[in-house]
Amino acid sequence: MRLELDSLNVFAGAGGAAHVAGRPLVVFLHGAGMDHSVWALQSRWFAHHGYNVLAVDLPGHGGSDGPALIGIAELADWTARLIRAAGSERAALVGHSMGALIALETAARHPEAVANLTMIGAAGKMPVHPDLLAAAKANAHEAIDMVSLWGLGAPAIQGGNTAPGLWMLGGSERLLEKTKPGVLHADLFACNAYQGGNEAAAKVTCPTTLILGERDQMSPLKAGRALAAAIAGAETIVLPGAGHMLMIERPDETLAALRAALARA
């Protein structure tokens, strides 16, 4: 579906179901260089089980217009406006990686707009290796290689897709290759620059769940646990052996964890 926000078109997957007035809204926020398609399984389940769904393409990503926004705070304010543009006053936010930072900051800055917060592959700070930032700034394919190899757990790199015949590493690279020039760098720059995680965590008042990978190389489990400890009442679900791209590596387990998380609303 398409929405208009800030005089620009925004594309969002609705999970294959029309929005129904009165249903709770779930907004899915993707990570750096990605788009709404990473939420294919999870968004469809919620859309067919009593929720309105927006698996959004952030500005400049996928089918959404505009340049990529380069600050987590700016993206958080954009997300609050998106909820209103969708005709809702509040939404459950589900964010992965960069999307988790956006969701966290939105919950802190706009508590009236967030009913439930779920962060996947999250940490209070997400520093980016200088080599990766440099490669992304040059629009070099090495940046795509690094994100894919560091983001996926070892079994995923060897194959590991739950759907027979699909190559998980290759699929991740093809998705990143579709990203417009400069967008991956803008996303990684925003993650690297964000220093407000602990301050935002202290302001979160809604039910919060963190879904973390035991072997996450980009947002290490220790850092995710520290973020959870900074949020009052937050719960943590750890997927054993998983890396950073949990929705792709462990789609069924991630869906089960999301169902438990949103049941807390």
CA distances to 1, 15, 90, 132, 262 from 82, rounded to whole Å, are 13, 17, 10, 30, 20
pLDDT at residue 166 above 90?
no
Using alpha carbons, select from 223, 218, 210, 211 the residue that is nearest to residue 251: 211
Domain ranges of the chain: 2-262
- 124: how many CB neighbours lie within 10 A of its CB? 23
Q: Helix, strand or coil for residue 120? A: strand
Q: Mean pLDDT, to the nearest integer, of 75-81?
A: 98
* Percent of the chain at pLDDT exceeding 70: 98
> Distance of CA 52 to CAs 28, 62, 127, 225, 230, Å?
11, 21, 33, 30, 30
> Residue 165 — pLDDT band, cuts 50, 70, 90?
low
Using a 10 angstrom Cβ sphere, with 0-12 exposed, 13-18 middle and 19 or more buried, the burial of residue 92 is buried
pLDDT at position 163 over 80: no
| Fold (CATH) for 2-262 | Rossmann fold (3.40.50)
| Strand order from edge to edge, sheet including 2-5 | 2-5, 8-13, 52-56, 25-29, 91-96, 114-120, 208-213, 235-239
For residue 261, give the 3-state DSSP assignment.
helix
8-33 burial, b at 16+ Cβ within 10 Å, e below that, comes to eebbbbbbebebeeeebbbbbbbbbb
Mean pLDDT score across all residues of the chain: 94
Q: Is the pLDDT of residue 208 over 70?
A: yes
pLDDT in tens, 4-25: 999 999 999 999 999 999 999 9
pLDDT band at 264 (very low <50, low <70, confident <90, very high): confident
Mean local confidence (pLDDT), 134-157: 90
pLDDT at 64: 97
Q: How confident is the model at residue 169 (pLDDT cuts 50, 70, 90)?
A: confident
In eight-state DSSP terms, residue 182 is T
Does the pLDDT at position 164 exceed 70?
Answer: no
Rounded to 5 degrees, φ, ψ at 239 are -95, 110
φ and ψ at 96, to 5 degrees? -115, 130
Q: Is the pLDDT of residue 157 over 80?
A: no
